[in-house]
C-alpha cells in the first residue's frame, strides 16, 4: 500500500475521528451527570444542521456565523427536553440514581417525535449549506487537508478542553460535578439539582448546536442523518469511557482512524462492521473504556 | 467526571448454582414455590385463546381483514419474543430487529441457494440469530450500565447499513438495499407458500402460542426465578451464586431464536425481505414499545400491546400515510413517552385490577 495514500487516510481519519468525538461530547456529559443515555442525541444534531441550513436559505447567514443562533437555540431545546420530558421521571424515582432504562426509552420517544416531525416539516429531500468563506485546502507536505473538517476538528478539541476547564474551575461547573457524584448530598448543600440537570442537558445540546453549524457545510442534511451520528456517538462514548470528556475525543479518534485505515483495504461499509469487532474487543478487554477509570 | 463502574468479573471461587444444590436432593416435581394451579390456569388460557384464534378463518373470509390479523399477530409474536429477555432481565434491547433480519435473510437464502425448506430454514435462521445474540450479550451482560442497550442498537444499525450497501458477500447474494424476494413455487406446504391467507394465519397463531407458552414456562422455571432475583437485586443474587451474565445470556439466546424464526415467517408471508424494514430501528422500537405499553414482564402484556398498537399504526398509515409522512410514528413516540412516565407497568396492570374487581380473576391472577 502506497504510504502517501495511507498517510492521507490517516490524516482524514484523525479529522473525522475528532469530529465524532466532538459530537459525542454532549452525550458523555449528560450521561456522566444524570446517568441518562440520550437516545435523541443525533436528532438534536439534525435539528442544529437544519437550523444552520434554514438560516442560510432564508436569511443568508453563513453557516459559520450561524453559531451565534444555533448554540443558544439548541441550549434552549435541551433545557426544555430535560425540564418538560425527563424531569418528571427523575422526580418519580426516589432512589439516588434514575433507572437508566426508563430514561433511555423516554428519549427514544423524543427521537421518534423529533425525527418524524422533521420529516413532516422538511420533507425527505437532501439539503446542503455552503459557506462563502474561501477555504482552500491546507497543504501538509504533499497531503491536502480539508479546511472545513480541520475547523470542525479544532472546535472539537477546543470544546473538550474548555468544557473540562469550565467544569473544574467555575462555581456552576463544580455544582454540576457535585450533582454527578451524589445527587442527595448536592441537594443538602443547597444546589438546585433540577436546575443543574436542565443546564447540563442544555450544554450537552448546545455543543450539538455548535457542530450543527460547523458540519452543515460538508454533511448532506436529511431528517434521518441524526440516527447515524447518534449511533456513532454511542460507540465512541462506550469506547472512550462513558461519562469521560477526554475519553469521548480519544474514542472518536480511535474509531475515525480505524475506519479510515480499514477502508483502504475493504469497502467502507465493511470497515464499519470491522469497527464493531474493535468495539466488542475493547468491551471484553477494557470494559471501562479507553479513558474510563476502572 | 464520573465514569461508569464496570462490573468486576465474577470471582472464580463463587460456586455455580448447580454445584450448590446438594446431590442428595432429587429434583422433585412438587418443589415449585408457587401454587401450580395458577400457572396451569394461564396455560389453559393460552390453549383456549389458541383454539379460538385458530377457528377465526372459518368465520372471517375477507382476505384483507385476515391479512391485517396476521400482521397484528406477527407483531404480538415479535413483542412476546422481545419480552422474553427484556421484560424479565431488566435490560433493554433497541436492536432486536437484527435477530429478525438474520432469521429472515437466512430463511430466504437457504431456500434460494440450497433449496432448503423454510420449515428448516426458519429454525436455522433462529440458531444463527441466537449465535449473534451471544456475540452481543457475552461482553455486555457482565457490565453494569447501559452497555447492552447501546450495543444492541449499534449492532443493529451497523448491520442494516452494511446489508444495504452489500450486493454479494463470499458469493452469497444479499442484493443491497433492494432486498431479496422469495421465488414463487405456487401452493406448496414444503415451501411454506400458500395462495390463501388462512395457512399463514394458522402458522403465526401456532408461533404465538409457542412464544406465550415459552414465557409461561420461563415464569415457572428456575431460569425465571434466577432472572427475577437478578432484576430485584443483582448483588444479592450474585452473592447466592447466581451468575447474572450467564442466565441473562440464556434468556437472550432463546429470545433471539424466537425473533429469528419470526423474521423467517415475515420473509415467507411477504415473500420479500429488505434491510430497512426487517433490520431497521423501527421494528426494534415497535417490539419494545408494544411490550412496554401492554406490560413487560408479563405473559400477555406484549400481546395486549400489539393488539392495541398494530391496528393503530395500520389505520394512521392508511388514512394519513400519503399526506403526512411519519405522523403515526410521532403519535407512537408520544404514546411511548406517556407510557414510560405514567404507566410504567403497562396497560395490563389496570386491566387486571379491573378484572379482579369484577371477580373474573382468581386470587393468583397476578401474572
pLDDT attached to residue A208: 94
- Chain B segment 15-54 residues within 8 A of A by beta carbon are none
Does B85 map to a domain?
A: yes
Q: Predicted confidence band at B323 (pLDDT cuts at 50, 70, 90)?
A: low
Among all residues of chain B, which has the CA nearest to that of A239? B147
Number of domains chain A contains: 1
Determine the residue among A228, A231, A249, A289 to mutate to test chain B binding: the one whose Cβ has the most chain B Cβ atoms within 10 Å. Answer: A231
Residue A132 inside a domain? The answer is no
Which chain A residues have a beta carbon less than 8 Å from that of B4? 241-243, 288-289, 292
Measure A42 CA to nearest chain B CA, in Å: 13
A28, A32, A112 member nearest B336 (Cβ): A112
Model pLDDT for residues B186-243, shown as the tens digit of each residue: 777 777 777 778 888 888 988 998 898 888 888 888 888 888 888 777 788 888 888 8
Say if A19 falls within a structural domain: yes
Instruction: Determine, yes or no, domain membership for B224.
Output: yes
Asked if A95 is an interface residue toward chain B (Cβ–Cβ < 8 A), one would say no
Element (H, E) at A20: helix A3-34
C-alpha cell at B299: 405473559
CA–CA distances in Å: residue B8 to residues A43, A66, A240: 34, 46, 18
Closest CA to A247 of A167, A121, A160: A160
Mean pLDDT calculated for residue range B308-325? 70
| Run of H or E residues at A138 | strand A138-140
Residues of B in contact with A110 (CB under 8 A): 333, 337
Residues in chain B with CB shorter than 8 Å from the CB of A104 are 92, 94, 146, 149
The residue that leads in pLDDT, B363 or B260, is: B260
Question: Would you call A242 and B4 a contact, using CB atoms and an 8 Å cutoff?
Answer: yes
pLDDT of B314 > 80? The answer is no
Cα(A63)–Cα(A56) distance, rounded to whole angstroms?
Answer: 7
pLDDT grade for B20, boundaries at 50, 70 and 90: very low
**If residue A207 lies in a helix (H) or strand (E), which one and from where to where?**
helix A193-215
Phi, psi at A133, each rounded to 5°? -65, 140
- Mean pLDDT to the nearest integer, B36-63: 74
Residue B309 lies in a domain: no
Which of B154, B333, B344 is closest, CB to CB, to A113? B333
- Cβ atoms B351, B361 nearer than 8 A: no
Cβ contacts of A227 on chain B, cutoff 8 Å: 157, 281
Q: Is residue B365 part of a domain?
A: no
Name the least confident of B40-49, B51-60, B265-274, B316-325. B316-325
The alpha carbon of residue A219 is apart from the nearest alpha carbon of chain B, in Å, by 18
Range of the domain at B135: 62-280
Backbone angles phi, psi at A150, to 5 degrees: -65, -40
Note down the domain range covering A24.
3-121+145-285
**Would you call A256 an interface residue with chain B, using a CB distance cutoff of 8 Å?**
no
The C-alpha cell at B18 is: 448447580
| Alpha-carbon dihedral angle through residues B335, B336, B337, B341, given to the nearest 10 degrees | 100
So what's the pLDDT on residue A204? 93
Interface contact flag, A117 B340, Cβ < 8 Å: no
- For B323, counting Cβ atoms within 10 Å of its Cβ (0-12 exposed, 13-18 middle, 19+ buried), the class is exposed
Is A294 among the domain residues?
no
Least confident of A189-198, A219-228, B292-301, B316-325: B316-325
Return phi, psi of residue A5, to 5°. Answer: -65, -40
- Surface of B (170-199) touching A: CB under 8 A: none
In a domain? residue A83: yes
Higher pLDDT, B44 or B23: B44
Question: Residues 157..176 of A with a Cβ closer than 8 Å to B: which?
Answer: 167
Which ipTM value was assigned to this complex? 0.83
Which residue among A29, A100, A287 places its CB closest to the CB of B143? A287
- What H or E segment, with its residue span, contains residue B273? strand B272-273
Asked if residues A142 and A3 have their Cβ atoms less than 8 Å apart, the reply is: no
Of A49, A217, A60, A90, whose CA–CA distance to A146 is shortest? A217
Minimum-distance CB partner of A238 among B150, B159, B326: B150
A–B interface: beta-carbon pairs under 8 A: 160
> For residue B158, what is its C-alpha cell?
451497523
**pLDDT at B35 exceeding the cut of 50:** no
Q: What is the pLDDT along chain A (294 residues), one digit of tens a residue?
A: 678 888 888 888 999 999 999 999 999 999 888 888 898 999 999 999 999 999 988 888 888 888 999 999 999 999 999 999 988 888 776 554 445 678 888 898 999 999 989 988 888 888 888 877 767 777 777 788 888 889 999 999 999 999 999 999 999 999 998 888 888 888 888 888 889 999 999 999 999 999 999 998 888 999 888 888 888 898 898 888 888 889 899 999 998 999 888 888 877 777 777 888 888 888 888 877 777 654
Main-chain phi, psi angles of A134, to 5 degrees: -80, 110
Domain-embedded: residue A208:
yes
A116 lies in some domain = yes
Radius of gyration over every alpha carbon of chain B, rounded to an integer in angstroms: 21
Closest alpha carbon within chain A to B292: A105
With CA atoms as reference, the chain A residue closest to B92 would be A101
Interface of B with A in 313-352 (CB under 8 A): 324-327, 329-330, 332-337, 340-341, 344
Over residues B148-192, the pLDDT tens digits come to: 888 888 888 888 888 888 777 777 777 777 778 887 777 777 777
C-alpha cell at A162: 474548555
In A, minimum Cα distance to B135 occurs at A280
pLDDT of residue A134: 67
Query: Given a cut of 60, is residue B140 above it in pLDDT?
Result: yes
| Chain B contact probe: residue of A29, A109, A123, A269 with most B CBs at under 10 A | A109
Q: Is residue B41 part of a domain?
A: no
Pick the residue from chain A with its C-alpha nearest to B140: A283
Domain total for chain B?
1
**Helix H or strand E segment including A203:** helix A193-215
User: Which pLDDT band, with edges at 50, 70 and 90, does B125 fall under?
Assistant: very high
Amino acid at each position: 500500500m502506497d504510504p502517501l495514500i495511507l498517510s492521507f487516510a490517516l490524516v482524514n481519519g484523525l479529522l473525522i475521528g475528532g469530529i465524532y468525538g466532538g459530537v459525542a461530547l454532549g452525550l458523555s456529559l449528560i450521561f456522566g451527570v444524570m446517568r441518562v443515555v440520550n437516545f435523541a442525541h443525533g436528532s438534536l444534531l439534525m435539528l442544529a444542521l437544519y437550523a444552520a441550513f434554514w438560516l442560510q436559505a432564508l436569511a443568508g447567514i453563513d453557516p459559520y456565523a450561524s453559531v451565534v443562533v444555533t448554540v443558544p437555540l439548541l441550549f434552549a431545546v435541551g433545557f426544555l427536553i430535560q425540564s418538560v420530558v425527563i424531569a418528571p421521571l427523575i422526580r418519580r424515582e426516589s432512589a439516588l440514581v434514575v433507572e437508566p432504562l426508563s430514561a433511555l426509552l423516554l428519549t427514544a420517544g423524543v427521537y421518534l417525535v423529533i425525527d418524524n416531525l422533521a420529516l413532516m416539516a422538511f420533507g425527505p429531500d437532501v439539503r446542503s449549506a455552503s459557506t462563502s468563506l474561501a477555504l482552500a485546502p491546507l497543504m501538509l507536505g504533499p497531503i491536502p487537508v480539508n479546511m472545513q473538517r480541520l475547523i470542525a476538528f479544532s472546535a472539537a478539541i477546543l470544546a473538550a478542553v474548555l468544557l473540562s476547564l469550565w467544569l473544574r474551575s467555575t462555581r456552576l461547573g463544580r455544582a454540576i460535578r457535585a450533582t454527578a457524584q451524589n445527587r442527595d448530598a448536592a441537594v443538602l448543600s443547597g444546589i438546585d439539582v433540577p436546575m443543574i440537570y436542565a443546564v447540563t442537558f442544555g450544554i450537552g445540546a448546545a455543543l450539538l448546536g455548535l457542530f450543527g453549524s460547523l458540519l452543515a457545510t460538508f454533511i448532506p442534511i436529511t431528517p434521518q442523518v441524526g440516527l447515524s451520528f447518534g449511533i456513532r456517538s454511542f460507540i465512541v462514548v462506550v469506547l472512550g469511557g462513558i461519562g469521560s470528556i477526554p475519553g469521548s475525543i480519544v474514542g472518536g479518534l480511535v474509531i475515525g482512524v480505524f475506519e479510515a485505515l480499514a477502508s483502504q483495504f475493504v469497502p467502507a461499509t465493511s470497515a464499519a462492521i470491522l469497527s464493531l469487532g474493535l468495539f466488542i474487543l475493547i468491551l471484553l478487554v477494557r470494559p471501562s473504556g479507553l479513558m474510563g477509570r476502572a | 467526571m464520573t465514569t461508569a463502574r464496570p462490573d468486576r468479573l465474577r470471582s472464580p471461587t463463587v460456586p455455580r448454582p448447580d454445584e450448590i444444590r446438594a446431590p442428595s436432593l432429587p429434583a422433585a416435581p412438587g418443589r415449585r414455590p408457587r401454587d401450580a394451579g395458577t400457572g396451569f390456569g394461564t396455560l389453559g388460557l393460552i390453549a383456549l385463546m389458541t383454539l379460538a384464534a385458530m377457528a377465526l378463518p372459518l368465520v372471517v373470509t375477507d382476505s384483507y381483514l385476515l391479512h391485517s390479523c396476521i400482521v397484528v399477530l406477527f407483531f404480538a409474536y415479535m413483542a412476546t419474543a422481545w419480552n422474553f429477555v427484556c421484560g424479565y432481565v431488566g435490560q433493554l434491547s433497541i436492536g432486536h430487529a437484527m435477530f429478525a433480519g438474520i432469521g429472515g435473510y437466512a430463511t430466504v437464502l437457504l431456500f434460494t441457494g440450497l433449496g432448503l425448506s423454510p420449515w428448516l430454514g426458519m429454525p436455522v435462521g433462529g440458531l444463527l440469530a441466537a449465535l449473534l445474540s451471544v456475540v452481543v450479550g457475552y461482553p455486555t451482560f457482565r457490565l453494569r450500565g447501559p452497555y447492552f442497550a447501546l450495543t444492541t442498537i449499534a449492532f443493529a444499525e451497523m448491520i442494516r447499513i452494511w446489508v444495504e450497501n452489500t450486493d454479494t458477500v463470499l458469493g452469497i447474494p444479499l442484493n443491497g438495499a433492494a432486498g431479496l424476494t422469495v421465488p414463487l413455487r405456487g401452493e406448496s406446504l414444503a415451501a411454506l407458500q400458500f395462495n390463501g391467507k388462512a395457512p399463514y394465519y394458522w402458522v403465526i397463531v401456532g408461533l404465538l402460542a409457542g412464544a406465550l407458552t415459552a414465557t409461561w414456562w420461563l415464569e415457572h422455571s428456575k431460569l425465571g426465578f434466577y432472572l427475577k432475583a437478578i432484576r430485584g437485586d443483582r448483588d444479592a443474587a450474585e452473592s447466592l451464586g447466581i451468575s447474572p451474565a450467564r442466565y441473562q445470556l440464556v434468556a437472550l439466546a432463546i429470545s433471539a431464536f424466537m425473533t429469528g424464526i419470526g423474521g423467517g415467517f415475515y420473509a415467507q408471508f411477504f415473500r420479500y425481505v429488505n434491510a430497512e424494514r426487517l433490520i431497521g430501528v423501527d421494528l426494534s422500537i415497535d417490539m419494545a414499545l408494544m411490550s412496554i405499553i401492554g406490560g413487560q414482564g408479563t405473559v400477555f402484556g406484549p400481546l395486549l400491546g400489539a393488539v392495541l398498537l398494530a391496528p393503530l399504526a395500520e389505520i394512521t398509515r392508511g388514512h394519513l400515510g400519503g399526506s403526512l409522512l411519519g405522523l403515526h410514528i410521532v403519535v407512537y413516540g408520544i404514546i411511548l413517552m406517556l407510557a414510560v412516565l405514567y404507566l410504567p407497568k403497562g396497560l395490563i396492570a389496570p386491566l387486571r385490577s379491573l378484572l379482579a374487581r369484577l371477580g373474573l380473576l382468581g386470587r393468583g391472577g397476578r401474572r
